[in-house]
Amino acid sequence: MSARSIPWLKYAAPPNFYGLADRLTPWLWAGAGLLFLVGLYVGFFVAPVDYQQGNSYRIMFIHVPTAWMGMFLYLLMALYGMIFLVWRIRMADAMARAIAPTGALMTFLALWTGALWGAPTWGAYWVWDARLTSTLILLFLFLGYMALHAAADDRDKGGRAASLLAIIGAVNVPIIYFSVNWWYTLHQGASVIRRDGPSMAPEMLAALLIMTAAFWLYCAAIVLRRAQLEALEREPGAEWAQAAAAGALTREQRERAAATATIGDVGDHDEGDTLTGNTATKQEGRN
Amino acid sequence: MGRSLWTLLQRDLALIVMRRQDVLTVVAFFVIVITLFPLAIGPEPERLRTIAPGAVWVAAALASLISLDRLFADDWRDGTLEQLALSPQPLALVALAKVAAHWCALSLPLVALSPALGYSLGLTGSELAVLALSLLIGTPVLSLLGAIGAALTLGVRAGGALMALLILPLYVPVLVLGAGAVTEAMYDSAFQAHLSLLGAGLAVALPLAPLAIAGALRIALD
């Protein structure tokens, strides 16, 4: 496999990825915690009261970042799915699979906080608004990805099918959003959401951006952690995985394991053979 | 190449027609789902008329979904699909031929039947024509999208329910535009825009969906 000399493939080897994630996650957790504190402080105590909505608008500081993260994570998941399908890099599938639950959680939180925000401002927890409906459909797409990935007996096969689904979904998301928008304008002319309120105060914007960064760091940390576990699950018998699970993965062990790791079918065009070969190795590992 | 695909189309049609039971089951399902709406909502003609486009379209989408369940399953089980994948024809075209045969045998009857069911829910005159036309343009898109789901769930546990979860969200645009066209026609406004967009959807799905189906079939056959 000549492709190993390309440096950006270094972290496609599970042991290297594991080491990198180990080094990154403490910083991500710390950054997320700090920014959550700062963002919530600015959001609750510094940002002024909205003259139309009073204090209820403050849920925006959770609602908007989670909605953004939900959409962003779906696209990221589809991107990793594409990397997995094209280059067969297994860690890409592990990342995509690790993203799905967090993406679903973010989408769910966006819907949940939206309902809580809607109750005082619109007088209803749920309306069939275009944005709400398309966010709900996004949640279903996440759930479909997870269900399809879990349904296959073979992890690789499930990963490929789910990756294809994620890509099809990513192509469809704009079409769904457009059609739902069309449907909404058709049925009720006046909009329920009034976005033409007062322009946002700088403190509000600051709180919003800080909270978005905090959610981004949180998602990165939890996704990396989940991908680490996924990497361990895939090679339960390997020496590095045993050491890592015990919390004592030495640098030497990691480098030795990375030098012999199966990244995927990188640089190998005879896909049928290598696939069965790799499946066989995996089966051995499992036993 | 054209001839072998034509043969495949004929073979699939013959197989479906031989098991007339399957066609009848899907048609009966379509009719029964529409019958449930008046029973659940009540017989007032005005109310039924308002929900008629949505009811017929939802029933068509569900009928399409359950009929697609076995699009590839039988061929996959007895190994025919593997032979088709090994044949010199591109797998995408093979998939397109299979979807076309499936649509002719199982969705066209629904399109033909839809004016009668629309009439029973209180639609009249040109609205019925728009309903049938919207289904004529829309159901091929449903078949193409559903075939992706059928291919993705080949050989997977709990295939049927999983397929609904995967595919129904993707059906949303077709459903919105199709039912929207009929609703527009009911208010004498421009329904052509909806039909044009539906046609655009078909024009996009026709070349792209077979590629996705072929990709999914390759994963299943691996």
Average pLDDT over residues A88-106: 93
| Chain B nearest-CA residue for A145 | B166
Chain A residues inside the 8 Å CB shell of B215: 85, 164
Q: Rounded to two decimals, what is the model's pTM? A: 0.86
pLDDT at A30 over 80: yes
Average pLDDT over residues B150-169: 86
pLDDT at B155 over 60: yes
The answer to whether residue A139 neighbours chain B at the CB level (below 8 Å) is: no
pLDDT bin (cut points 50, 70, 90) of residue A188 is: very low
Q: How does pLDDT run across A200-217, given as a tens digit for each residue? A: 778 888 899 999 999 999
The answer to whether residue A15 neighbours chain B at the CB level (below 8 Å) is: no
Look at residue A238 in the predicted model and tell me its pLDDT. 80
Tell me whether residues B177 and A143 touch, CB distance under 8 A: no
Residues comprising chain B, all counted = 222
Tell me whether residues B148 and A141 touch, CB distance under 8 A: no
Largest CA distance in chain A: 67
pLDDT at A152 over 50: yes
* Pairs of CB atoms within 8 A across A/B: 79
Look at residue A88 in the predicted model and tell me its pLDDT. 87
Separation CA A76–CA A248 (nearest Å): 31
B114 contacts B60 by C-beta, under 8 angstroms: yes
> Comparing A116 with A275, which gets the higher pLDDT?
A116
The answer to whether residue A86 neighbours chain B at the CB level (below 8 Å) is: no
B174 contacts B60 by C-beta, under 8 angstroms: no
DSSP calls for chain A: -GGGGSGGGGGGSHHHHHHHHHHHHHHHHHHHHHHHHHHHHIIIIISPPBTTTBTGGGGHHHHHHHHHHHHHHHHHHHHHHHHHHHH-BHHHHHHHHHHHHHHHHHHHHHHHHHHHHHHHHHS-S----HHHHHHHHHHHHHHHHHHHHHHSSSHHHHHHHHHHHHHHHHHHHHHHHHHHHHHHHHH-SS-SS---SSPPPHHHHHHHHHHHHHHHHHHHHHHHHHHHHHHHHHSTTSHHHHHHHTT---HHHHHHHHHH---BSTT---HHHHHHHHHHHHHHHH-
The structural domain count of chain B equals 1
Nearest to A183 among B148, B169, B176 (CB): B176
Average pLDDT over residues A226-255: 83
Nearest to A164 among B172, B184, B216 (CB): B216
Q: Average pLDDT over chain B, rounded to whole? A: 90
pLDDT at A5 over 70: no
The answer to whether residue A168 neighbours chain B at the CB level (below 8 Å) is: yes
Q: How does pLDDT run across B89-132, given as a tens digit for each residue? A: 899 999 999 999 999 999 999 999 999 999 999 898 889 999 99
Average pLDDT over residues A253-275: 60
pLDDT at A281 over 60: no
List A54's β-bridge partners, or say none: A50
Chain A residues inside the 8 Å CB shell of B180: 182-183, 186
DSSP alpha helix (H) spans, B154-191: 159-186
Q: Average pLDDT over chain A, rounded to whole? A: 81
pLDDT bin (cut points 50, 70, 90) of residue A195 is: low
The percentage of residues in chain B with a pLDDT greater than 90, rounded to a whole number, is: 56
Q: How does pLDDT run across B35-62, given as a tens digit for each residue? A: 999 999 888 888 899 899 999 999 999 9
pLDDT bin (cut points 50, 70, 90) of residue A28 is: very high
A92 contacts A63 by C-beta, under 8 angstroms: no
Q: State residue B93 phi and psi, 5-degree precision.
A: -70, -35
Tell me whether residues B169 and A137 touch, CB distance under 8 A: yes
pLDDT bin (cut points 50, 70, 90) of residue A271 is: very low
Domain boundaries, chain A: 20-191+210-234, 236-277
Tell me whether residues B169 and A175 touch, CB distance under 8 A: no
Q: What is the ipTM of this complex?
A: 0.88
Look at residue A274 in the predicted model and tell me its pLDDT. 39
> Comparing A51 with B57, which gets the higher pLDDT?
B57
Look at residue A60 in the predicted model and tell me its pLDDT. 87
Look at residue A276 in the predicted model and tell me its pLDDT. 39
The answer to whether residue A178 neighbours chain B at the CB level (below 8 Å) is: yes
Look at residue A196 in the predicted model and tell me its pLDDT. 53
The answer to whether residue A9 neighbours chain B at the CB level (below 8 Å) is: no
The answer to whether residue A141 neighbours chain B at the CB level (below 8 Å) is: yes
By residue range, what is the domain housing residue B80? Answer: 2-221
Look at residue A107 in the predicted model and tell me its pLDDT. 95
Tell me whether residues B212 and A153 touch, CB distance under 8 A: no
